[in-house]
Structure 1
Amino acid sequence: VIFLIIGFTYKFESTPGDIELVLEAISSKFNVSPWLMLVPAFLVIIIIKKVPPLPALLAGSLIGGVFAIIFQPHLIREVALGLDESTTSFFKSSYLSVMQSIFGDVAITTPNEMVNELLSSTGMRGMLNTIWLILSAMVFGGTMESAGLLVKITSVVIRWAQSTGSLVTTTIATSIFFNITASDQYIAIVVPGRMFADSYKKRGLKPEVLSRTLEDGGTITSVLVPWNTCGATQSRVLGVPTMEYVPFAFFNILSPLFSILFAYLNYKIRRYGDDEQDEEKTMTDEDRRDI
């Protein structure tokens, strides 16, 4: 709804003529065909089938490369000649171009500068700096967790959780704190989950309440922190600095606030019934493992 309002009220600098120039630049360089929609359709099917990430990424890259070879042979030759001017074999050109587009720099030139910038890519090599940051953040966060520093720092906040609303607020604040200090989404979810699990159980709150709160506080807000593993990745993939897209991340900003509001209003807060709570208390560790 917010984006719909912005779309109807915001005055854009571009004109219909600019859009036509972009479309002409794309058409002059690419063979645009409805058959190309099979690639995103294939990716949607992969998502629906819940294919594991690595096979999904591999399959997406391969089918994208195959369609590029079939529908954009002139670009395949252009990229290959930029790498090796002596290349004459189309098979070799296809291999060089697809591999280069996956891991290296690729720049396709059109009459439109904006389109040129859009079509420029650095592949996996361009992600290396982000990967180093992610690895460093994971090591730093893991060290702090293993040393018990994170729990020590935040254990005092558990005392503030005197009601359901304050408990949810404290959980979200702790997750955001870990996203900022530990720089890793995983830690921002797991550590608060361990810390507050007993508190939620004592208040008769079902596990899904804690799970939803951790999602709202840990998962969603991680992309708002520039040095967090998620924020760094999104910024690199989108090509937009984190602090520039933050003002437009309405869902990421509002979701934790609504979660806190609903907790204080006791709205959609699932609790154990008396029978369920008694059953939970008498359940053995072996029973939980079986579940």
Structure 2
Amino acid sequence: MNLDPRTPSLVWSLVPVVSLMALLALAYVLFGEEAAGGANQIALLFSALIAVFVGGLHGYSWTEMSEAARDSVMTGVGAVFILLAVGSLIGTWAMSGTLMAMVYWGLKILSPDYFYFTVVLISAALALCIGSSWTVVGTLGIGLMGISQQMALDPVITAGAVISGAYFGDKSSPLSDATNLATAAAGADLYSHIVETLWTSVPTLLVTLLVFWSLGQPGDFDASGITGGIAANYNVGILPFLPLVLVLGLAVLRYPPFVTIFLGALSGGVIAIIVAPGNVIALAGDPDLPVALAMIKGVWTAMADGNVSASGYDVLDRFLSRGGMSSMLVTVWLILTALAFGGVVEKIGVLDRLLAPVLAAANTAGRLISALVVAAIGTNALASDQYIAIVLPGRIFQKAFKKLNLAPVVLSRAVGDSATVTSALVPWNSCGAYMAATLGVATVSYAPYAVFNLLNPLVTIAFAFAGFRMIARRDGAAEPEGQA
């Protein structure tokens, strides 16, 4: 690896990394799961300043580092807008009864005995079809969380099941931006990559399903009281499902995620006006306004500040009083500070320096892929962005994979098995922050139950040490057709 002459030494490179880990640990000790509400952001900014200090000592100018931080933040603007759109969607879907209709029919169809198992399957199938874990979590995932709460099941386990299924589909779908990025970074063929990634993803999914089947809670559960209360207060027919159908249809047609989700939010407001005009007018909170303007204000309020439910059913009101763009601002703050830190450490060569000795020692397929997995997880933690964690290791490790005569598809599969899935396990990563904010469960809480995300990197390492699907490179061919 050719390093910039100004790249800090290994010891200096560890300074901002160790500082960040120490400050984040201290934030958790002092604030617990509330650390994401502001303490983690302070830790990230302070660590970014430490990185700037280290860079300055090694010849990097303030202008260079500030531009790197700015450029890194710009890469997350798309994620920020998606997050804001999801906030609006939650607000209008709560007001329109879309979430409640999903809960109602979920209670009618599903059983606690196999609920977690079914959540994984449904989330995996939908993500495979539309290629977006974020869309699955931000739509179907929210409804599944509501169903689990009404069944008195553990929302933490449910969140882990949703994320496990969503990431299987995301990393295995040709429609996924993460999948396409992994193949591009490694120089592999997309459809060869899909075939190869199934070799590691399917066994991981089967083990995941067994785990969640064992976590089922057998016993009698009478949902008639809850479903009766829902049916008496909310429309549970076809109309409330139209926003969900619209979102899924636009996702399949490959409309941009922000456009898809924001239109889903607007459609939720329209449906609320049709099926629950009283809720809309009540949320507007201005009896002097003409009805038409009150309707507009109510939808506007739900999109900006979320819905407030006052049905008299305490459990339902707690579930439906949520959403709005404003509810996502703390998460946006976390993403921006994390990306600023990641931009600085990438610019001054911290990641390159830390990876150099790892690459030097990776002289077998098992060691090389283990090193890649560690690098991808580390980049997810340091750069705080899934896309950076996919692209950087994919590029940096290309020469090492070529040296060991391993095909590009082996590299792309390993990147998908590590960088893509572990992004949701880091609280300050844009993916981890999104999942926590959308599902209402802290990343550190659901992470132990994100079984697929935890196991997939281990499976790809096991394959490497066993020599299974370590396809040889074929010079001059776009992609080899290797055997185990």
Q: TM-score range by the shorter chain?
A: 0.7 to 0.9
Residue 123 of structure 2 is matched in structure 1 by none
In the alignment, the residues of structure 1 paired with residue 211 and residue 323 of structure 2 have an alpha-carbon distance, to the nearest angstrom, of: 35
> Relative to 1, partners in 2 of residues 1:8 and 1:115: Cα closer, same or farther, differing over 3 Å?
farther
- The Cα offsets for residues 235-262 of structure 1, whole Å up to 9 and x where unpaired, read as 1111001122112111101111111111
Does residue 216 in structure 1 map to residue 417 in structure 2? Answer: yes
In the alignment, the residues of structure 2 paired with residue 182 and residue 157 of structure 1 have an alpha-carbon distance, to the nearest angstrom, of: 18
In the alignment, the residues of structure 2 paired with residue 40 and residue 139 of structure 1 have an alpha-carbon distance, to the nearest angstrom, of: 35
- The Cα offsets for residues 69-128 of structure 1, whole Å up to 9 and x where unpaired, read as 112222112212x3x232232x21221121111111321123332222211114111111
Residue 295 of structure 2 is matched in structure 1 by 94
Question: How high is the TM-score relative to the length of structure 2?
Answer: 0.53
Count of residue pairs the alignment pairs up = 272
Query: 1:5 offset after TM fit, Å?
Result: 5.9
Counterpart of 2:221, as a letter, is P
Contact 2:433 2:443 (8 Å CA) reproduced: yes
In the alignment, the residues of structure 2 paired with residue 45 and residue 103 of structure 1 have an alpha-carbon distance, to the nearest angstrom, of: 25
> Relative to 1, partners in 2 of residues 1:33 and 1:279: Cα closer, same or farther, differing over 3 Å?
closer
The alignment partner of 2:273 has SS state of: helix
> Relative to 1, partners in 2 of residues 1:214 and 1:29: Cα closer, same or farther, differing over 3 Å?
same
Query: 1:4 offset after TM fit, Å?
Result: 6.0
Q: CA RMSD in A?
A: 2.2
Alignment partner of 2:363 out of 158, 162, 175: 162
Question: How high is the TM-score relative to the length of structure 1?
Answer: 0.85
**Structure of higher RCO (CA pairs closer than 8 Å, 6+ residues apart):** 2
Counterpart of 2:287, as a letter, is E
Which stretch has the larger CA shift, 40-49 or 246-255?
A: 40-49
Query: 1:278 offset after TM fit, Å?
Result: 4.7
Counterpart of 2:224, as a letter, is E
Contact 2:421 2:453 (8 Å CA) reproduced: yes
- The Cα offsets for residues 1-59 of structure 1, whole Å up to 9 and x where unpaired, read as 5446645664379x634x33332332232122123333222222112111112221232
Residue 228 of structure 2 is matched in structure 1 by 24
Residue 233 of structure 1 is matched in structure 2 by 434
Residue 44 of structure 1 is matched in structure 2 by 248
Alignment partner of 2:275 out of 71, 76, 89: 71
Counterpart of 1:206, as a letter, is A
Counterpart of 1:235, as a letter, is A
Contact 1:25 1:115 (8 Å CA) reproduced: no
> Relative to 1, partners in 2 of residues 1:175 and 1:6: Cα closer, same or farther, differing over 3 Å?
closer
In the alignment, the residues of structure 2 paired with residue 109 and residue 162 of structure 1 have an alpha-carbon distance, to the nearest angstrom, of: 64
Residue 286 of structure 1 is matched in structure 2 by none
Does residue 198 in structure 1 map to residue 399 in structure 2? Answer: yes
In the alignment, the residues of structure 2 paired with residue 95 and residue 197 of structure 1 have an alpha-carbon distance, to the nearest angstrom, of: 54
Alignment partner of 2:321 out of 95, 120, 123: 120
In the alignment, the residues of structure 2 paired with residue 208 and residue 101 of structure 1 have an alpha-carbon distance, to the nearest angstrom, of: 46
Percentage of identical aligned residues: 34
Counterpart of 1:24, as a letter, is G
Residue 389 of structure 2 is matched in structure 1 by 188
In the alignment, the residues of structure 2 paired with residue 207 and residue 94 of structure 1 have an alpha-carbon distance, to the nearest angstrom, of: 55
> Relative to 1, partners in 2 of residues 1:63 and 1:147: Cα closer, same or farther, differing over 3 Å?
same
Contact 2:247 2:261 (8 Å CA) reproduced: no
Structure 1 portions without partners, runs of 5+ = 281-291
Structure 2 portions without partners, runs of 5+ = 1-205, 479-484
Residue 217 of structure 2 is matched in structure 1 by 11
